[in-house]
Every structure is written in structure tokens, then in C-alpha cells.
Amino acid sequence: MTKLAQHAKATATVLHEEFRVPFQVFEASTATRLWPETEPNGDVRYLSDNVGTFAGLVGGRKVQVTPRPNGKCRLRVPFVLGDVTLVAESVLARIGNDPDDIAEEQRRLECWAQAVLDRLLQVEWLRSQRAAEDELKRQLKSAWELNLTLERLIRHLRIHREPGSNLHKILAAAIPFIDAESLIWVPSSLEGMQTRGEAVLADDDIRDLVKALRRSTELRDTGLLLCPRVADASWGAGFSHLGSVLVMTVPSGRAFGWLIAVNKRGSDRQASFCNADAAAMAPFAALIGLLNKASDRYQDLKDLLVGLTRSLASAVDAKDPYTYGHSERVARIAVELGRELNLGEDELSDIYLAGLLHDVGKIGIRDEVLCKHGPLTAEEQQHIQQHPQIGHAILQDLHQISSLLPGVLHHHERYDGDGYPMKLAGEQIPRIARIIAVADSYDAMSTTRPYRQGLAPDRVEAILIGGAGEQWDPRIIEAFQRIIPKLRSIREHGLGESLRQALDGALRDTGSSRVIPINMVVPSSTI
């Protein structure tokens, strides 16, 4: 039963209780009977031939009493309900027969019926006022909840990541406020679409819908399309199974996209989106645009740091050609050690980049010391031991990779406290530096240098195992022993996509601490 029919039934019930006769209720402008649902019996059933006169009662608030033959009179009560007028109609028996008595009785019936109508209108007015107040409270509550949702969403999103997971969170947060069956993000490339809610449309159907929407002048000119009935739209051919659609064009960094709400939820399929839904969607659409623009800037920053890291590594190689590829190997070995220690992907990313940059301070070491073929003097030894501090100084202003600095500064500390530059011992040494120390020593002893030949693998491994608890962390040496076959397979690799992927983990939001894991950088298959 529709809401209008429910009102008709309620009106007929009140009037029946008041006058003790059954009433029919019509929608005045169309003379459609709303109540009762079936043809009534008795005198009331013969009133339908007079429904054409309802038009004169539309908009009125006065009852009408009309004499009828056989001692009867017809009572019509117009009841205004919003922009709809209902007319309740029934037949009552007259009491008097004298013309004066009939006129007086008619006057009294009109007054009685008018009083009843006034009470009904007063009740309806009070009901509508309460409904308006409830709706205002609902809107204020919804606006408050929307603000809280946006605040929580913005606080937990991380703009430096790929936008896919951010989009998923935004769509999930938005759909309850728009009350759509489905909420869809469609990039301009028509690839990488995301949907929340019901699977109303398949991907191919979504693409067809977007191609059709592009023909909409309204969407093209204003960036907003509010379509209450898709079947009636000029572009709606082939989408008659859809109800209503709400579309926003979203500027999205270097490209753009569309945020599409499909089928307003409601008690019937006639529900459609309205301006309030567009207002609720707008901040989520704006957030998608901002995050995608930020993602573009992040990508630019990542490209810049890729170039910078390559340049620094190349500069170190140019200073000491005997160690060409050393930093890349140290980085890969350190990652394998970290994996064996079950470290998280954020820390593995830090380890990889710190391994890559651990010797960057050698840029500041004199060539005659760095490339000397014989033993170093005490002064030269002191000079070369400054390279961790020089590397730290070079990198310390790059705040986005500040988590790498302990690995650069402390990778020559010893577990027994006899290392440099600060003579830290045991757990005082940052874990990232303890891992890189093992990886650095393993590759350095295996590599031929100007002053000596590289050692055989068995000899290198024996030295590392023998130095556990003195020079190196024994737990890391235990992990080293478990993966010796894997580490032996590591060979020189150029700086490539592994570096770019590592930056995903290193370029974390410096205002938060290690909140987003990444997909790690150096797959075992590449080693």
C-alpha cells in the first residue's frame, strides 16, 4: 500500500468513527479512488458517478453537504495533504422532512463536518511540523556523522601510497551517506575501476554507461549529472534496467575520472537521487581528486629520488672502481637477512635503501686513501673511518628517508663496542645497522680489493660465524647460516626497478611512524 493510500485509509477510518457511516476517499485531481480498495456496498457505491465534480474542491478547505432523494444527503470532505487533495465522500440519512428542518440540519452537518475537518487539518499540520523537525534533526545528525567520517578518513589515509587502497576506503565510507545500491569510481582510462555496494553493473556495462554519459551536455558543462529516471534520459537507451544515476566528474591529477552512484535505495524502485545526495557525494569526490593529485606528486618525488640514489651510487663507484656493485649486493644480502628474521616490509625497504647508500660517505674520502694498494697509516685509517658520518651528513636533510640514517651512520659499529664512529655495543646499535654490518662484511671479504684478493666463500663464512657475539650480532649470524646457499647466489645487479619499489616503503609520511606496509622490493626470483 502506498503512503497516499495509507493516508486515505486513516482519513476514512477517522470519519467513519465520527459519523458512523463508511466513507470512500478519492484523489481529487484524477478522481481515483484510494479507499476502499474494492467496490463498496450500499449507498456509497453509487457515488462514483459524481467524481467529476471533485475538481471544484481541489485546494479548498470547506466541506460540502448536498441533499439527495429518499431522505439522504451527500457529505464531501476535502482534505489537503501537501500538494495533494483527498476527497472523502459518504451518504448520511436526514432526520427532518420539513424544508426548514432540512436546511437547519444541513447547516448543522456542515458545521459538524467542518469542525472535524479542522481537527484533521490541525493534526496533519502538527504531524507535518514534527516530520519537518525530525527531518531537520536527521539532516543535522547526518551532516555531523559525515564530518566525523571525513575527519577519520582523512586522518587514516596516506597520500604517498598507490591510490587503489585509498579509493576503496573512500567509496566504503561514502556509500552509506549517498544511500546508493552501488558506488563506482571510473578513471578516464576506463581501467582500474572500483565498485562498492551491490554489483549492479559488470565492468563492460560500466564502460558503456560512461561512454553514454559523455554525450550528456549537462555533465560536460557542469561536471554534475542528476538523473532521476535513466530510462527517460536522451542517453539512457540500453540502460532501462537502471533506476536513477548521480554522476560527478572528478579532476584527478594529470587525468580525471567519474564518481557514479547507481540506483537510490528506497522502499520502492521509484526512489531517486536528489540535491542532498549530490551534496553528500561532493566532499568524497573532492577527496579522491586531492589524493590522486598527491599521488602524482609522490610519483614525481619518487622519480627524483631514484635519480638521486643512482647518481650517488654511481659517484661512489667512480671513486672506487674495485667496489663496483658492492652497495647493490650489500642491499640484497641485507634484505635476505631481514626476511629470515621475519621483519616487516617497511623495515625491509629501509634495509634495502640503507644498504644501497651505506657507503655514500666515501665520496668525501681522498682518492689516494680510498684506492691505496698498501696498508693504511693511522691517519689514513682515521680518515677513512669518517665515511659513515660523511654519508649521514649528506643524507640527513632528506627527511623522507630519515629512517635509513641509522644504517648509514652505524654500520661499522661492533657488537662488543669496539667499532666506530660511536663505539655502540649490543642492542645499542640500531638493528638496521647490525644487519648491514653482516651484509657489508660478507661482500667486502668476498671481493678483491687493491690491497688483497677476495677470500673463498668457506673462509668468509667461517670468519663471520667465528665473530658472532664479538663483531657481529649472534642472532643475525644464525640467520646468515640458515640462508648461506641463497646468499652465495647473489651476484651483481644493476640499479633498476627494485630500487624504485623500495622507495615506496621508504617514502612514508614523516608525521606518522611506520603505519603502512609495502610490497617488498627484491623478490627472491631476482636474486
- Are residues 185 and 71 both part of a single domain? no
The structural domain count of the chain equals 3
Contacts of 438 (CB under 8 A, 6+ apart): 333, 334, 337, 464, 472, 473, 476, 477, 480
d(CA 116, CA 498): 83
In this structure, of 39-48, 185-194, 266-275, 440-449, the range with the lowest mean pLDDT score is: 39-48
Render 82-101 in DSSP notation, one character per residue: TTEEEEEEEEEE-S--SHHH
What's the rounded Cα separation, in Å, for the pair 518 and 161? 9
Same domain, 283 and 426: no
Same domain flag for 28 and 111: yes
Q: Within a domain: residue 310?
A: no
Model confidence at 478, in pLDDT bands (50, 70, 90)?
Answer: very high
Note whether 387 and 511 are same-domain residues: yes
Alpha helices per DSSP H over 157-274: 163-178, 203-213, 217-222
The mean per-residue pLDDT over the stretch 316-326 comes to 69
Judge if 253 and 193 occupy the same domain: yes
Alpha-carbon distance 313 to 361, whole Å?
10
Strand order in the sheet with 255-264: 194-197, 180-187, 255-264, 245-252, 224-227
Q: Which of 106, 73, 103, 104 minimizes the C-alpha distance to 90?
A: 73
The pLDDT of 506-520, averaged and rounded, is 42
Q: Which of 329, 369, 305 is nearest to 503 (CA)?
A: 305
**Same domain for 288 and 332?**
no
Can you say how many angstroms the Cα of residue 516 is from the centroid of all Cα atoms in its chain? Answer: 15
CA angle 161, 167, 170 (to 5 degrees): 120
Same domain, 468 and 426: yes
Query: Which pLDDT tens digit goes with each residue over 123-182?
Result: 878 887 887 787 777 767 766 777 777 777 777 766 655 566 788 888 888 888 888 889
| DSSP-assigned letters across all residues of 18-57 | HHSS--EEEETTTTEEEESSS---GGGGGGGGGGGGGGGG
In a domain, 408, yes or no: yes
Length of the chain: 527
Show the domain range for 95.
3-128
The number of angstroms, rounded, from the C-alpha of 7 to the middle of its chain's C-alpha atoms is: 42
> Any idea what the CATH number is for the domain that residue 116 is in?
3.30.450
Asked whether the predicted pLDDT for residue 278 surpasses 70, the reply is yes
| Residue 437, Cβ density class (10 Å: 0-12 exposed, 13-18 middle, ≥19 buried) | buried
C-alpha cell at 417: 663496542
Distance between start and end Cα atoms, the chain: 70
Give the bridge partners for 79, in sequence order.
Answer: 86
Give the helix/strand (H/E) hosting 459: helix 457-466
Question: Which pLDDT band holds residue 437 (cuts at 50, 70, 90)?
Answer: very high
Cell of 424: 655502540
**For 269, how many CA atoms within 13 A lie in the half-sphere containing its CB?**
7
For 11-60, how does the pLDDT look when each residue is reduced to its tens digit (9 = 90+)?
889 898 989 889 988 887 777 888 887 776 655 544 544 545 555 565 55
Question: Is 351 within the bounds of a domain?
Answer: yes
In this structure, is residue 307 part of a structural domain?
A: no
Weakest mean pLDDT among 8-22, 83-97, 350-364? 83-97
Tens-digit pLDDT profile for residues 280-305: 888 888 888 888 787 777 777 777 77
Whole-prediction pTM? 0.53
Report if residue 150 sits inside a domain: no
In a domain? residue 136: no
Average pLDDT, the chain: 80
Same-domain check for residues 496 and 379: yes
pLDDT at 479: 95
Contact 164, 191 (CB under 8 A): no
Does residue 137 form part of some domain?
no
Residues 205, 256, single domain; the answer is: yes
Name the band, by pLDDT with cuts 50, 70 and 90, for residue 192.
confident
Co-location of 252 and 330 in the same domain: no
CATH of the domain at 172: 3.30.450.40
In 3D space, the residue among 482, 520, 527, 525 whose CA is nearest the CA of residue 503 turns out to be: 520
Res 384 pLDDT > 50: yes
Q: How do residues 60-82 score in pLDDT, each as one tens digit?
A: 568 888 887 778 888 888 887 77
Measured CA to CA in angstroms, residue 370 lies from 314, 356, 390, 395, 420 at distances of 16, 18, 14, 21, 18
Among 112, 128, 144, the domain boundary falls at 128
Cα–Cα–Cα angle for 428, 416, 356, nearest 5°? Answer: 65
Domain-located, residue 135:
no
Burial (CB count <10 Å: 0-12, 13-18, 19+), residue 449:
middle
Q: 71 has which bridge partners? A: none
Q: Do 230 and 263 touch, CB atoms closer than 8 A?
A: no
The residue from 78, 113, 128 where one domain ends is 128
Q: Which of these three, 277, 294, 311, is where a domain ends?
A: 294
Q: Is the dihedral of CA 300, 305, 306, 310 positive or negative?
A: positive
Given the C-alpha cell 553514454, which residue does it identify? 212
> What are residue 448's DSSP bridge partners?
none
Whichever domain contains 477, its CATH number is 1.10.3210.10
